Structure 1
């Protein structure tokens, strides 16, 4: 294993040669990438797969119920839409005007070419009301109700043809058909709204103005940081280039074999833009330092690749490792999302160390760093600091006097800053105790949307559990009709069930199904408790073979996903932390530095979780993120957010600590190395953080609650990480630990190293002619 890892020792030299070669052979490098990009885009257009919204969980009880229904009832059924009607105030659907309007509405919907059949309120349709009782006192209905107990709300089920591909055009035609029928036959007699599975399947998160504003903010920040349109355009252009290849090329091809969810491209775009701009920013900054030292363009590109580029490789590798850790969730759609997003991040890393040096070879001297004018009585002192660092590293560096003073101030009051910032992070993380996982549904849509209005009408007319029924599927070869009748009665008598339909036997297979309506809404914790009680207590009590029946449906599936994520989360966090810890050991040749990095990253993630709970569950500032009422935290989001945030936090950790270690190896002075490391990197880290925050906040404007939560949590964590942690807690803790930061047991000395120690192992510097003449003249 050690011999296999020995190649890590020559990585800086390889990166130097790669960056130098790409800068020299820039036309060839860019041409190869353009051909690759065009090939992937064309391949995706011709062969690319489709993104989906299906949530399947192999091995779960809900998935077994789904398989039983699919085998027993066949798979030739199309998607269902719900058309919900409401009578005017003071009347019921049984009144003649409403009866005529409903009949004409059903007939018109049936004529829609997308529709297979229509079922709904028929004249004289009398069913047991949800929550009502039969003559013997049970809560068993003859069929699923179509009219509410008070007769004012009705439900029309519209089944689409199996060959109809669901899309927004289908919903538009359906709504146009229904609205035309009401306008012609029922104007003023019925209120009509639309919802159901069809609308759930065609909902696609789309980018919009918020994302564009976030990107524009990144452009402004880069322009201010670099003072050059060319220097600003390189990171933005590289990020957009990588996004184009990754999101619109590779992800579609991955969807051929993986169930990539339809929100994954937006998430990849969000993360890819952030890391792509940041990685390019790090390398361009180091390149400009080389030019300021008088290096040739190829040598400056190579050295930027071997130093900042190596930090990018380590940071990007940590992001990829963290995201791929989601495979441990054993949830297929999360695994697919993790693979697709990590591919985009890896693509950004590769582009940063190949395409970017080639572009730097073209623009070259136009990126020369502006030298600051000496001002004030302290300018000579900072000049001495620069000269001292120059003697350490063989370059001038980029010491910023304001950040140098800040680093010295924190170092001088390390204990006070350590205690106060640690307390602040604990307070921000405290709301995590009340974290509640779930899934937003159509009840969380905009109150003005037709899906939300349909959801509310169904809850008002039939009870809160009507929007999330539990589907009990039974294998009729392993049960008897008597057992299923007893099961129906037992389910109907459960205190968490409002009503249940009797068994519906399949005509083509060996299956039967019961539909149970909970007394509580799909997102209520009580509904999950009812589900678990039916599975663990009621089915074993009634059936001789408890494995002959399973409970499925959307509510049960989402509950199973939440439980799977909760059960796997500790293992996932442990694996990501351990793998990242081991990688940082190879990078920094230290035990305390990686351990501290892991702990501080956990604190920043805890703060992000705390803000999510406060905003989305407690409703603090909810309208600022475009929501009208609290929503549950999406069950898979904590795991996905942890993976992304842990990796992104390592970006700044590696970039800062690599400079600190570089200075420490040259000087042996821990305190001064920490201060100079802050002075070297703070401006770049701050700019990079502002860029990421701008990009992530832009996605909060997206209509999809998943992207809102992801955008806000990422922006919060990056803000905390780049300010409270990197600029305060890291320097304070490193000052308190002193030389112990770099303690490394002798028995681990044989481990290979990535040698993030500046340019000590690189070839001699190549100076441009003017710089050489200045040095020798």
Structure 2
């Protein structure tokens, strides 16, 4: 068994160089959305503009843009760029009021799918900048700005953040484990198992990517590795604690290992199944950015469960004598059990009072949800030091903050659409810097619109709404209109994530209910579990809204956090209720089963939750705001779930429900 895991680790490590090389940036596209249809129409109507358009920002403090040397250097650099694979037509954009004397903006088309564009970009950028530096004698700079350049910078930021986060999480988790388990010998095993789970999960994802052509992006890898680390620690910890319990009761290593397989092994499999079922609900979202999270979470849960039921028992059997080595000088085991026993007896005497108090606390935490606002933006602080970020900042300073394409298709062979009135109306809008018309001579007329407002701003969305709902219907009655550009891509991604949230939540709840009914042989307990999980997620988002300026939260987070927290909460529910069910089947006394289950699982849950909190809290060092928001939401949700909900509200409610906890139609 150990040899098999060692071989898997070696194979996984061998894939890591190619994994890092082939990683893509997070995708903005939403297949089937209006922005995707507009991009296809523009690519078909103007093939030279490619599948995406980026802006090349030239800047010089030594030369003016009209000088011969400036123009010659720019032309030389652009000619070198045009010769690169994947580069289409290149057109200079008209100057705008407020544009700097040393600034020039050029439009370039990019061919290929998202992954191909991202892979080619570093070479294209290097060629442009090297030729420009040579031709201008270092007097000019050039930046590439657009969806691919910006999100390629995001990719590089994520690649820096992920190893740093893991390096922070592992040693702190080791300290937490040593303190919670009481010996250094016991702490190393979950750490070793979780490290192996992370590596094997990453290797499995690389093989899936190679076999299916699926493009793995950095955000997906970050979430996958963090989930793998958290679940690997959790499941290994549960297995280890059950093993130590069996050894403490007098079982020899072989018998203890068998006991672990019969108890913790079954619990771990149910837990991993709960995570996989919840993660599968992400498949209803059309956006690849979200949809791609499902497989990594499912793979991480599977690998973590396999490690807990095969690798960890094998390690325990081989290293039994090491577990109690390096004992730390504070009480554990019996002393901690006595504290949990006192708490359980106190809670069982006043369950109604504690249920009411925790309910009020969670309601207060949820209250800020009323003021939450969702959006997707470029996260300028994290991009400020990057080339794309500097180019974007220059564009916004000079009033060329974004570019949109207004597409007006017409019958093949018909005259171009008359756009003079529409262009004049747009130029009269304070948000518009330039509006230039063009026709492909066949079936498509376009207006290229340079705006003073940013692509991720509410002002540009309002302008697009005015074009669609007011200007075109009034000035061009009956004319079909589509709008292409990054602003529409962001708007469609936001709309897709938010509109699908209820489908994801409904599917996760329904699947979890069916799954837990089979696990617990009860109807009441699964319903209670789902309600508690929803409370944890709602309270976490309420506190996230309270912590963010203006209550603004990234629109992708609700579906991701809901599935992550729902799956982790199911783990703790299974940890606790399986213990309670074991006692109830033996004694038939609900109050005693609840009390014994709380005593038997409280230490495991608190220690496992602390490890997960440490794992996700390590993402607080990330440069990207959405990564930090994700970490905050998961940390708060797990903290509330493992303390207020799991150790107070759940046992209090189960005490109040009595024998109804175990009711299943047709089973008495």
Q: TM-score, normalised by structure 2?
A: 0.86
Secondary structure (helix, strand or coil) at the match of 1:503 reads strand
The verdict on how the C-alpha distance between 1:87 and 1:284 changes in structure 2, with shifts beyond 3 A counting, is: same
2:184–2:328 Cα contact (<8 Å) kept? no
Please report the RMSD computed on the Cα atoms of aligned residues, expressed in angstroms.
Answer: 3.7
2:174–2:187 Cα contact (<8 Å) kept? yes
Deviation of the 1:271 alpha carbon? 0.8
The verdict on how the C-alpha distance between 1:358 and 1:657 changes in structure 2, with shifts beyond 3 A counting, is: same
Deviations 1:321-375 (A, max 9, x none): 1111011112234222212332222221122212222222211344369999999
Distance 1:478 1:443 in 2: 43
Aligned partner of 2:392 in structure 1 is: 455
Distance 1:666 1:451 in 2: 65
Of 571-580 and 468-477, the range deviating more from structure 2? 468-477
Aligned partner of 2:176 in structure 1 is: 221
Deviation of the 1:427 alpha carbon? 1.8
**Highest Rg: 1 or 2?**
1
Deviation of the 1:641 alpha carbon? 1.1
Residue 155 of structure 1 pairs with residue 128 of structure 2: no
Residue 85 of structure 1 pairs with residue 36 of structure 2: no
Could you tell me which runs of 5 or more consecutive residues in structure 2 were left unpaired when the two chains were aligned: none
Deviations 1:216-262 (A, max 9, x none): 11111112222333422221111121211211333453363334333
Secondary structure (helix, strand or coil) at the match of 2:499 reads helix
Deviation of the 1:644 alpha carbon? 0.9
Q: 1:553 aligns with which of 481, 485, 488?
A: 485
Aligned partner of 1:56 in structure 2 is: 29
1:522–1:555 Cα contact (<8 Å) kept? yes
Distance 2:328 2:344 in 1: 20
Residue 266 of structure 1 pairs with residue 216 of structure 2: no
The verdict on how the C-alpha distance between 1:541 and 1:111 changes in structure 2, with shifts beyond 3 A counting, is: closer
> Where do 1:369-388 residues align within 5 Å?
none
The verdict on how the C-alpha distance between 1:56 and 1:482 changes in structure 2, with shifts beyond 3 A counting, is: same
Aligned partner of 2:426 in structure 1 is: 492
Residue 352 of structure 1 pairs with residue 308 of structure 2: yes
The verdict on how the C-alpha distance between 1:491 and 1:729 changes in structure 2, with shifts beyond 3 A counting, is: farther
Aligned partner of 1:323 in structure 2 is: 279
Secondary structure (helix, strand or coil) at the match of 1:294 reads coil
2:49–2:108 Cα contact (<8 Å) kept? no
The verdict on how the C-alpha distance between 1:447 and 1:561 changes in structure 2, with shifts beyond 3 A counting, is: closer
Distance 1:671 1:370 in 2: 38
Secondary structure (helix, strand or coil) at the match of 1:441 reads coil
Deviation of the 1:587 alpha carbon? 1.7
Aligned partner of 2:580 in structure 1 is: 660
Distance 1:202 1:371 in 2: 48
Deviation of the 1:589 alpha carbon? 2.2
Q: 2:542 aligns with which of 610, 614, 635?
A: 610
Residue 483 of structure 1 pairs with residue 405 of structure 2: no
Of 348-357 and 552-561, the range deviating more from structure 2? 348-357
The verdict on how the C-alpha distance between 1:472 and 1:585 changes in structure 2, with shifts beyond 3 A counting, is: same
> Where do 1:225-244 residues align within 5 Å?
225-244=180-199
Distance 1:337 1:36 in 2: 23
> Where do 1:382-461 residues align within 5 Å?
400-441=337-378, 443-461=380-398
Distance 1:357 1:329 in 2: 38
2:437–2:445 Cα contact (<8 Å) kept? yes
The verdict on how the C-alpha distance between 1:490 and 1:193 changes in structure 2, with shifts beyond 3 A counting, is: closer
> Where do 1:160-179 residues align within 5 Å?
165-166=119-120, 168=122, 171=125, 174-175=128-129
Distance 1:185 1:320 in 2: 54
Aligned partner of 2:2 in structure 1 is: 30
Secondary structure (helix, strand or coil) at the match of 2:417 reads helix
The verdict on how the C-alpha distance between 1:583 and 1:459 changes in structure 2, with shifts beyond 3 A counting, is: same
* The structure with more helix, counted as a fraction of residues: 2
The verdict on how the C-alpha distance between 1:240 and 1:158 changes in structure 2, with shifts beyond 3 A counting, is: farther
Distance 1:569 1:496 in 2: 36
Deviation of the 1:667 alpha carbon? 2.5
Residue 505 of structure 1 pairs with residue 505 of structure 2: no
Residue 146 of structure 1 pairs with residue 95 of structure 2: yes
Residue-pair matches, total: 653
Q: TM-score, normalised by structure 1?
A: 0.75
Of 422-431 and 650-659, the range deviating more from structure 2? 422-431
Residue 103 of structure 1 pairs with residue 76 of structure 2: no
Secondary structure (helix, strand or coil) at the match of 1:640 reads helix
1:147–1:155 Cα contact (<8 Å) kept? no
Deviation of the 1:537 alpha carbon? 5.0
Aligned partner of 1:594 in structure 2 is: 526
The verdict on how the C-alpha distance between 1:259 and 1:673 changes in structure 2, with shifts beyond 3 A counting, is: same
Aligned partner of 1:773 in structure 2 is: none
2:565–2:637 Cα contact (<8 Å) kept? yes
Deviation of the 1:652 alpha carbon? 0.9
Distance 1:372 1:410 in 2: 31
Deviation of the 1:544 alpha carbon? 6.2
Distance 1:697 1:422 in 2: 26
Distance 1:669 1:153 in 2: 82
Distance 2:271 2:319 in 1: 26
2:438–2:447 Cα contact (<8 Å) kept? yes
The verdict on how the C-alpha distance between 1:167 and 1:515 changes in structure 2, with shifts beyond 3 A counting, is: closer
The verdict on how the C-alpha distance between 1:174 and 1:536 changes in structure 2, with shifts beyond 3 A counting, is: same
Distance 2:325 2:580 in 1: 22
Distance 2:78 2:436 in 1: 27
Of 268-277 and 33-42, the range deviating more from structure 2? 33-42
> Where do 1:336-351 residues align within 5 Å?
336-351=292-307
Aligned partner of 1:769 in structure 2 is: none
The verdict on how the C-alpha distance between 1:102 and 1:404 changes in structure 2, with shifts beyond 3 A counting, is: farther
Distance 1:414 1:320 in 2: 33
Deviation of the 1:36 alpha carbon? 4.3
Residue 527 of structure 1 pairs with residue 460 of structure 2: yes
1:49–1:253 Cα contact (<8 Å) kept? no
The verdict on how the C-alpha distance between 1:412 and 1:114 changes in structure 2, with shifts beyond 3 A counting, is: farther
Aligned partner of 1:25 in structure 2 is: none
